[in-house]
Amino acid sequence: MPAIIDWSNQNSGFLTLVLFVLTLAFGWVSGIFKALMHKPDFKIGLLPVPTFICTYPTEQQFNQENTHRTAAVVYLKITNIGAAPAQITSVRLGYHNHSFKYTFLWYWLNQISSIGDFGHTVGENLRVFPFLFQKSVLLPQTVHTYLQAGQETNGIVYFEQPHSWGSYRPRVKNKKTNVLIRVTDAYGNNYSKSFKIDVVDIDYARKFNCNFGNTLALVDEHPIETWIQ
């Protein structure tokens, strides 16, 4: 014991430096751990109605091939199960191409504004579904995409594919297809989850929205005009 005390007295400067370095290292590791823990984490869920995808023919051709479009609607439920708030900035939907039976690649559709609300009648009542991003015409809703830790939001997100031909459509099995939903927050973090959703025809889709599948067609046919107030 006396030898240890003598050595400590003789090397007090070195011991002080070692303790200082260890303190810095501990603080650095603690800071990294705290930063990793204090971040958002979105959990993605789907509500069943209206959630479906539809491929429908157009009246146009490309290189003598009949063209079609694919449109999809998903009723999302997003919960922030992390420890920090974040803003939802975008949602994308991916599907597997019809041509390839085995593939890990996804064909991506970006969200687009819907022309009109989604809803259906229940008896004599009209049920209208809220949008996640755009303002509803029929509902007095406020878009809620900034989620504190523990908060959740839900709403409709709509997708449309430009004119396509051939196998540029979802692969279907038992009237369902696999899709990948990817949510991006304001920090650039991506959260993804795959689901099986129903594949329906255009008549069924338009029971929920009479303008389902018409957004890009109307934009193509009617140029944007100057808004005169």
d(CA 184, CA 4): 58
d(CA 205, CA 207): 5
- Please write the tens of the pLDDT for every residue from 11-23: 556 556 666 666 6
What is the pLDDT at residue 7? 47
- Mean pLDDT within 71-82: 97
What is the pLDDT at residue 202? 96
CB 44 within 8 A of CB 78: yes
- Range in 25-29, 174-178, 214-218 the model is least confident about: 25-29
Token code pair at residue 221: 């046919």
Q: pTM for the complete prediction?
A: 0.80
CB 125 within 8 A of CB 56: no
